Amino acid sequence: MRINTFLADNIKALAEAKAPVAAWLAATAPDPDMVFDRIFLNRAGTFDWRMDNGQGIFEGLPPALLYRDWRPKDMAEGGATVIVGTALGYGLNHVLTGTPHSHKVLVVEPRPEMLLACLGQTDYRAFLAHGKLKFLTPDPAAIEQAIHSLDVSFLFARIHLRSDMPSKQMGPEYARATALVRAKLESMSVELTTLRHKQEVMVGNELRNFSRAMRDGSLARVEGMARGLTCVILGAGPSLPRFAPLLAENRRGALFVSALQTLPALERLGLKPDLCLAIDFNTDMAKCLENLQDPGFAADIPFIYSTKMQPGVLDRYPGPKIPLWTQGGIGTFVLRDQELVLDAGGNVGVTLERFLTWAGAERFVLVGQDLAWQGTSTHAAGHHNAGWVHTYNPNEDVRLKNLAGEDIYTHHGFLAAKRDMEKDIKTAKAAFFNLYGGGVVIEGAANIGPDELLSGDLLQSVGIAREVFLDALDRAAAPRVRPVFSAKAAEWGTSLRNVSRRLEKLMRKADKHQDEIRTLLSQVQFFIKHDPLYMPYLYNEIMDLAGLIHTRPRYGVKELTAFKAIRQRVLDKVKEIDASLAPSDSWAA
């Protein structure tokens, strides 16, 4: 038997599928003859890989013992296995041949020579063509993207991580790759666990805020109106109180902006921003307004609000309000040609920077954007997170050094905001300066002190740029033309009732019609996803249908009951969307 029998066929299949791993192998893999010289029959009569020290990776334990527990014992249908390290494919083959077709297998192999050796031993073409098997490059971004494709497996089945022990003998890259995959899986776990709830709440808020947003105006009117403008983004980091008095006395021609959360801290420091912005959908935002000593402080501060925010928070804001549409909701597709639909990121400082960059701002000065803390206080006094004493938690917090070599602490949310801002700075035409207060370093932003800030024209805008922008913002806070949408509840109701009748008929002889039932459910899912106006609010129902389609070994009465429950939720939501977007309440009546 030749030990590279299947290499050419497997490589050809990967190349024809335009799999990135094929290009990675072409660029990095050594001569196959050198690879296969390492493969030998060990004393147990098993194909083995000879390491640099002359030992075989399977001489300690035979593959049958090493991989006997790799097959999932339950919830394999629709689940997934992520394998780090191929060795010669023994573990991979054990999983592939012992799981149903719906069970996905992702393989991360850091060493190109080991992947070549694996591809030479087994014909994987059928598994690749079916979509059951996918080989990944060791690039973190590629791994993250592939893991995110396993969302249905996570929500409705189980994902298993298998780290190849024999491969770990060859170098530390296998342990690093395993840690990376585990971190990506844990991150996806947190994200998906909260996304189902968040999507329901956020898009529900958008619907309830729709009529208000039409009355409150349109930010499309300020596009390009920030040209020549210097913007000071005020964060609520611990350094804010140190710099606030200086800024209050030297506003010059800059536009001062902040998050809604920062207003109570700024009120206490005697520094009023020209506008504030908020994106958080949770009810904690009400605390920001409760923390104001005098609600009148905000009465003349324009408030740019995400349409995904709680309507009750918007009701309580005393000043002028202008809506901001953000990606991931009903505005993503249906308003993108009429409105600014912003990728807001996860931090309001990033949102402010992106909004003002879109509007044409040419210089940014970051103040209080520490994204870190020392001691026990994480925020400036007045911020709703400033009232509690923080104790370092190594499981959640990250210890770093600041420019002075001092220990500072941050968390992954702050680090994500830092990465987002650094990414934006790399491509921005605007200049960025950071009035450094001892926090994290934001790459691409020049660190400056108070003397440097005041010695030149960093706080100056070009001419009357500030006045031009604020005038445009004032004009933006006027009602806009309301788009007209056709009600779909009746049409959807008829279509889904017809599908239910067809499904009930197939279920009478379910064993005979399993493939037809699965196909029909797939068609229903496609129908529900086809309208971009309705799709964001139907995210949970779309995912629940995916669970029925991909993780059920057979269909029966239980699945029919589950489908009917999903169908009813879909119809209820479609009616809610139609009522929320109708030009008046008369339609809903």
pLDDT in tens, 116-171: 999 999 999 999 999 999 999 999 999 999 999 998 898 888 999 999 999 999 99
What is the structure's pLDDT at 535? 92
What is the structure's pLDDT at 584? 56
Contact 477, 217 (CB under 8 A): yes
Q: Are 235 and 123 members of one domain?
A: no
Q: Are 166 and 216 members of one domain?
A: no
Residues facing residue 163 across a β-bridge: 84
Q: Are 105 and 139 members of one domain?
A: yes
> Is residue 585 pLDDT above 80, yes or no?
no
Average pLDDT on 538-543 reads 94
What is the structure's pLDDT at 523? 96
Domain end residue (candidates: 453, 476, 499): 476
**Domains held by the chain: number:** 3
With cut-offs at 50, 70 and 90, classify the pLDDT of residue 389. Answer: low
Residue 185 lies in a domain: no
Q: Are 155 and 248 members of one domain?
A: no
Residue 323 lies in a domain: yes
Residue 206 lies in a domain: no
With cut-offs at 50, 70 and 90, classify the pLDDT of residue 388. Answer: low
Listed in order, strand segments (DSSP E) in 423-485 are 431-435, 446-448
- Picking from 549, 527, 551, 522, the residue whose alpha carbon sits closest to that of residue 538 is 527
CB atoms within 10 A of CB 10: 23
Query: Of 103 and 382, which is predicted with more confidence?
Result: 103
Which residue do the tokens 């008929």 mark? 505
Q: Are 226 and 264 members of one domain?
A: yes
Look at 72-76, 244-248, 454-458 and tell me which has the smallest mean pLDDT. 72-76
Q: In whole angstroms, what separates CA 216 from the centre of its chain? A: 29
Q: In whole angstroms, what separates CA 449 from the centre of its chain? A: 35
Q: Are 361 and 502 members of one domain?
A: no
> Is residue 58 pLDDT above 50, yes or no?
yes
Query: Of 34 and 146, which is predicted with more confidence?
Result: 146
> Is residue 588 pLDDT above 60, yes or no?
no
Average pLDDT on 521-548 reads 93
Q: Are 495 and 441 members of one domain?
A: no
Residues 6+ apart with CB under 8 A from 340: 219, 220, 223, 324, 325, 355, 358
> Is residue 393 pLDDT above 80, yes or no?
no
Q: In whole angstroms, what separates CA 80 from the centre of its chain? A: 21
What is the structure's pLDDT at 1? 38
- Quick: pLDDT tens for 174-196: 999 999 999 889 888 877 877 78
- How large a percentage of the chain has pLDDT more than 90? 77
Residue 568 lies in a domain: yes
Residue 191 lies in a domain: no
Q: What is the secondary structure of 120-138 as a DSSP string? A: HHS--HHHHHHTSEEEE-S
With cut-offs at 50, 70 and 90, classify the pLDDT of residue 587. Answer: very low
Residue 202 lies in a domain: no
- How large a percentage of the chain has pLDDT more than 70? 98
What is the structure's pLDDT at 186? 86
> Is residue 382 pLDDT above 90, yes or no?
no
- Which uninterrupted H or E stretch holds 287? helix 285-290
Q: Which two tokens stand for residue 133?
A: 């098997």
Which residue do the tokens 């059951």 mark? 132
Distance between CA atoms of residues 307 and 36, nearest Å: 60
Q: In whole angstroms, what separates CA 381 from the centre of its chain? A: 31
- Picking from 202, 221, 257, the residue whose alpha carbon sits closest to that of residue 479 is 221
HEC profile for 363-413?
EEEEECCCCCECCCCCCCCCCCCCCCCCCCCCCCEEEEECCCCCEEEEEHH
Across the chain, mean pLDDT equals 92
Average pLDDT on 519-525 reads 95
Q: Give residue 45's region: left, alpha or beta (phi > 0; psi -120 to 50).
A: left
The amino acid sitting at 281 is: F
Q: Are 87 and 224 members of one domain?
A: no
Structural domain harbouring 72: 7-171
Q: Are 65 and 162 members of one domain?
A: yes
Residue 199 lies in a domain: no
What is the structure's pLDDT at 586? 38
Residues 6+ apart with CB under 8 A from 155: 192, 196, 543, 547
Look at 255-259, 341-345, 410-414 and tell me which has the smallest mean pLDDT. 410-414
- Quick: pLDDT tens for 299-325: 999 999 999 999 999 999 999 999 999
Distance between CA atoms of residues 248 and 355, nearest Å: 24
Residue 436 lies in a domain: yes
Average pLDDT on 480-488 reads 90
Domain end residue (candidates: 114, 140, 171): 171
Distance separating the N- and C-terminal Cα atoms of the chain: 76
- Quick: pLDDT tens for 248-288: 999 989 999 999 999 999 999 999 999 999 999 887 788 88
Q: Are 110 and 78 members of one domain?
A: yes
Q: Are 418 and 494 members of one domain?
A: no
Residues facing residue 323 across a β-bridge: 305
Distance between CA atoms of residues 103 and 321, nearest Å: 50
CB atoms within 10 A of CB 430: 18
- Picking from 298, 290, 296, the residue whose alpha carbon sits closest to that of residue 274 is 298
Q: Are 390 and 282 members of one domain?
A: yes
Domain end residue (candidates: 171, 196, 226): 171
Average pLDDT on 201-208 reads 94
Distance between CA atoms of residues 413 and 425, nearest Å: 19
What is the structure's pLDDT at 2? 59
What is the structure's pLDDT at 76? 79
